Amino acid sequence: MHSDAVRSLRCPVCNGPFRLNEAPPFSLGCVAGHSFDSAKQGYFNLLSGKGTVFEADSAEMVAARHDFLGAGHYAPLAEAIADLAAPALAAPGSLVLDSGTGTGHYLRTVLDRTPAAAIGIDISKFALRRAARLNPGAINLVWDIWRPLPLADHAVDALIVVFAPRNPPEFARVLRPGGRVIVVTPRDGHLGEIAERTGMLGIEPGKDERLAESMQEYFTLADAVRLDVDLNLSGRDIADVAFMGPAGHHLERSALLASTSAETSVKATAKFTLSVFTAPEQGS
């Protein structure tokens, strides 16, 4: 695990710096004696006490996401994210934070382009099991994005948020001056050819405008890139993409698979907005 990432972490109990015990079993410990052992799958759970009130993605939802993304359907999106993150990660010792890392798929593409240190956070231990396997050099943490992030001030150079919640004040605190936040959101009409019949949640009108408004107190909107990806989906792909998102908390995967099993090749278009926000330069 990258030493620059470890140095950037802070204990969620006392806010002290962490040290990594690199002899198995791995653990993160602070000078005050708080210690967090690595799970056998390679991630760390920093949540303590009541944990989180938010519903984490289930093992089945994570498996669907792993299969769909692993088939390369969203490869153009992953490449676009990596292109936008790269300028902020060119300097030695750079750090990227993937907030809502899921299975680590998009972070993997970013790390294929840069030697940056990396931290991925998610509330789903099932997702982080896969993320830790895909990105073993990153530090993968179970964490609730609505709590103060377990990171030092101004430690992060690039922050990516793909279909995940945002915490603008905390993002501003941990981002270095001049750093960038890349937020990916679906646009109106995203997978419209299959969304309604599979029970996928609709895209709320004005989503991009609300995102910009929520971020404007802390960041400048530097760019907004629209990306459309044409897809040819099998019945299994359709079930996976429907089940891997928020609607998966309310759907039955077996019923989805049964309803799409006769499909062989369905054309659909994924529609994304990649919004790039920059942190103020020091002294500005």
Q: What is the predicted pLDDT for the residue at 2?
A: 74
Listed range (162-166, 258-262, 268-272) with the worst mean pLDDT: 258-262
Tell whether the torsion through CA atoms of 107, 112, 113 and 114 is positive or negative.
positive
Second CATH level (architecture) for the domain 45-278 = 3-Layer(aba) Sandwich (3.40)
Dist CA 111 CA 137 (whole Å): 10
CA dist 259 to 116, 121, 175, 240, Å?
43, 34, 45, 12
Phi, psi of 26 (to 5 degrees): -65, 145
When pLDDT is cut at 50, 70 and 90, the band that residue 283 belongs to is low
When pLDDT is cut at 50, 70 and 90, the band that residue 272 belongs to is very high
- Tokens 């760390």 belong to 44
Residue 16 is classified by DSSP as: P
Dist CA 105 CA 7 (whole Å): 24
The structure's pTM equals: 0.93
Alpha carbon of residue 1 to chain centroid: 19
When pLDDT is cut at 50, 70 and 90, the band that residue 170 belongs to is very high
Instruction: Provide the pairing of β-strand 44-45 with 95-99.
Output: unpaired
CA dist 267 to 49, 70, 186, 208, Å?
47, 19, 18, 25
Dist CA 269 CA 250 (whole Å): 23
Domain extent listing, the chain: 45-278
Q: What is the predicted pLDDT for the residue at 281?
A: 85
| Average pLDDT of the residues in 58-72 | 94
DSSP assignment of 24-66 equals SSPEEEETTS-EEEBPTTS-EE---TT--SSPPPPHHHHHHHH
- Tokens 């599979």 belong to 198
Listed range (21-25, 187-191, 278-282) with the worst mean pLDDT: 21-25
> What are the pLDDT digits (tens) for 194-237?
888 887 777 777 777 888 889 999 999 999 999 999 999 999 99
CA dist 38 to 16, 42, 46, 139, Å?
18, 6, 10, 10
Q: What is the predicted pLDDT for the residue at 279?
A: 92
